[in-house]
Amino acid sequence: MKWSYRIARIAGIDVKIHITFLLLLAYFGVTDWMDGGAFQGILSMAFILLLFLCVLLHEFGHAMAGRHYGIRTPDITLLPIGGVARMQAIPERPWQEFVIAVSGPAVNVAIAGALWVVLLLFPNLLGRAYPITSEILPNLMTINLALVMFNMIPAFPMDGGRVLRALLAMRLNYLKATKIAARTGQVFAAGFVLVGLGWNPMLLFIGLFVFTAARQELDDVAFREQIEQNGSYRI
């Protein structure tokens, strides 16, 4: 992906960061600094970094599940709208895609559960004596649960959309399952765009991304299906 730069290599996977993510980090850091002072600005940037660490772990959940089935992930890229694990192949069987799709949200459930246990065992971390942990930890737990619910919306190519395709592909052929999942994703994408226009610009960008990615996935699957059936692609 253009304008992406490698910042680490973990378990044989390049971790990349898109330049727009740095712009997002700077934007929230500066605006919160101006509104609430230096401490608030630093706290805001720390929270965003921790949030995207959770996103990175989410993507590694997908990558490790894919590796279990022999699918390599060359890199993971962090964007303002989330993370993208670039897998080199599509799972051969629907249940494999199902497992890979749910592995990411499962990581977020585990993170939220771990944070809940920490706060249960150490309730003083929520007290006024600990302004950083009392601000960050509950919000981080909540947002991990929100990530699970949002990702499981059946809007292809989000995780919920991939789960939908996997379930459909257990009964239908792969191309037809992809068509249904992609069209469903585009309906949700249109909803994201409409809500984003009047409320949240981030949803607008997510909607456009989901709509385009769903169309691209459908084209890719149709291309592979025709190659496999005819040995060539008819234009």
Q: CA 42, CA 32: separation in Å to the nearest integer?
A: 8
Instruction: Judge contact between 169 and 177, C-beta under 8 A.
Output: yes
Q: CA 89, CA 74: separation in Å to the nearest integer?
A: 11
Residue (of 51, 74, 72) closest to 145 by Cα position: 51
Q: CA 195, CA 204: separation in Å to the nearest integer?
A: 7
- Catalytically active residues are 59
Give φ, ψ of 74 to 5 degrees.
-65, -40
Q: Could you tell me the two tokens for 211?
A: 């709509």
